[in-house]
Structure 1
């Protein structure tokens, strides 16, 4: 079978649920199966596929048709210009979360903590972008921390990033200039309406705390007084309809300059606040 024939067939069977991304997903799978660059995949329409390449591509396609996320099939995914390993122990990094990273990088920081780090995409990116900074990344999942540690090593920040297996602030010591988190915030009712790529394959505990979806923010903000440096910042990702509720929680925690920030689509995505500076 020629590469172009496989891409055409794969795109057609993916289109009902992948939509406009079907062709791109097919090209990424063929690239991973063949070892070809994206440029070669784009021009190799008449090139024949070796049996072993075709077998790998077909196995990937079968997994995708079972609604497994492409990121898990490939074993890695892009975030803020870097590639991060992902497994079923972690969420797949999403472009919306880059809004939080951009806001964090908008001001200097020396010490950062990422609560509920998952793949480590946020913490690793922040330290990779700020070579003088150091930090801590926590997660309750040992599997997620293993993935995050590998990603820290991949991007050269392992020596500046400590990992703690913890339920939010448990076992964490010291103060930080910057507290960041993309916590589980999907409500119990919303979780049941998510796509099967999410509910079947991504860790439920990283997506929903149950109930109203706000319990993780309450836990994070409960530790702000003890762990946020004077004048330091807190940034958390939120669901599009949670801005007002999370702003109220920030205010109740004594944070100033509380702002809701939109993502690239204009939806509310991040809430930021600041500790009062010592006068």
Structure 2
């Protein structure tokens, strides 16, 4: 079957079930199956796709029609220009979260250490390591399955000597101090989760979404707890929901952090709160 016709078939099937980005998703899945690029559809649309690849593509389209996210179908997702392995055991790295990683890179210098709480796929910590030299990171998570993915990503990126994982509920049992602590904790209020798109509420790990009744339960633990693990003049950076900036900023100021700032993402929404521990 011709490449362009197969793409059209996938696009139409996704449109038929109301997938908002049907064209993009159909193309990404076809490129994954065929090992092709965006230009292939434009310049080689008459290319014949082998039967086994046609079958594999149709299977992927069927999964996407069930609202399984593209990243879980392909098993990978790009974040900060890096390809990360993902499964249903970890959140899919989100472009908004790049704001947290980029902000962290403003504060970290060669030779420093980072702790990433609720590390999931490890995308935040490993991105920081990728774009710095002689830095090290610890990633903590309550999910052993998530840590397994983070470890695989560290191995794929050649960073096993700079990144270690700890299976714990937020903070590890250690006296080690860090220059920077980052976290994208669960922050969605419990009642809101049911209103989200099926791709999120059905397929992303619930424990990585649920921030309890008001979405702030993890911040109430992280903000005071981080002080035991930060060097003086170290920074705490937290991803937040779009409406949580004032609450988390106030919480950090009440706990003695200085220079507390709320940073917006590219969409103009509050996305990160940062503060310095003196």
Matched residue, 2:222: 220
Q: List per-residue Cα deviations over 1:5-32 (Å, max 9, x = no partner).
A: 121121123235332x322211111122
Matched residue, 2:262: 260
Work out whether residues 135 and 160 of structure 1, in 8 Å CA contact, stay in contact via their aligned partners in 2.
yes
State the SS of the aligned residue for 1:18: coil
Distance 1:241 1:264 in 2: 15
Matched residue, 1:114: 116
Work out whether residues 30 and 57 of structure 1, in 8 Å CA contact, stay in contact via their aligned partners in 2.
yes
Matched residue, 1:244: 246
1:127 aligns with 2:129: yes
Q: List per-residue Cα deviations over 1:115-172 (Å, max 9, x = no partner).
A: 0000000000001111211121000000000000011111122101111001011424
Q: List per-residue Cα deviations over 1:67-124 (Å, max 9, x = no partner).
A: 0000000000000000000001100000000001111111234010000000000000
Question: Which ranges of 4 or more aligned residues in structure 1 deviate by more than 3 Å?
Answer: 15-18
Matched residue, 1:197: 199
Matched residue, 1:88: 88
Q: List per-residue Cα deviations over 1:194-251 (Å, max 9, x = no partner).
A: 1100111110000113211101111111312211110010100000000111111111
Distance 2:108 2:81 in 1: 20
Question: Which blocks of at least 5 consecutive residues in structure 1 are unaligned?
Answer: none
1:181 aligns with 2:176: no
Distance 1:105 1:66 in 2: 38
Work out whether residues 108 and 180 of structure 2, in 8 Å CA contact, stay in contact via their aligned partners in 1.
no
Work out whether residues 123 and 137 of structure 1, in 8 Å CA contact, stay in contact via their aligned partners in 2.
yes
Matched residue, 1:139: 141
Q: State the aligned residue count.
A: 275
1:17 aligns with 2:18: yes
State the SS of the aligned residue for 2:161: helix
Matched residue, 1:60: 60
Root-mean-square deviation (Å):
1.3
Question: Which blocks of at least 5 consecutive residues in structure 2 are unaligned?
Answer: none
Work out whether residues 11 and 26 of structure 1, in 8 Å CA contact, stay in contact via their aligned partners in 2.
yes
Segment of structure 1 superposing worse, 68-77 or 172-181? 172-181
Among residues 168, 171, 186, which one is paired with 2:170 in the alignment? Answer: 168
Distance 1:7 1:165 in 2: 42
1:7 aligns with 2:16: no
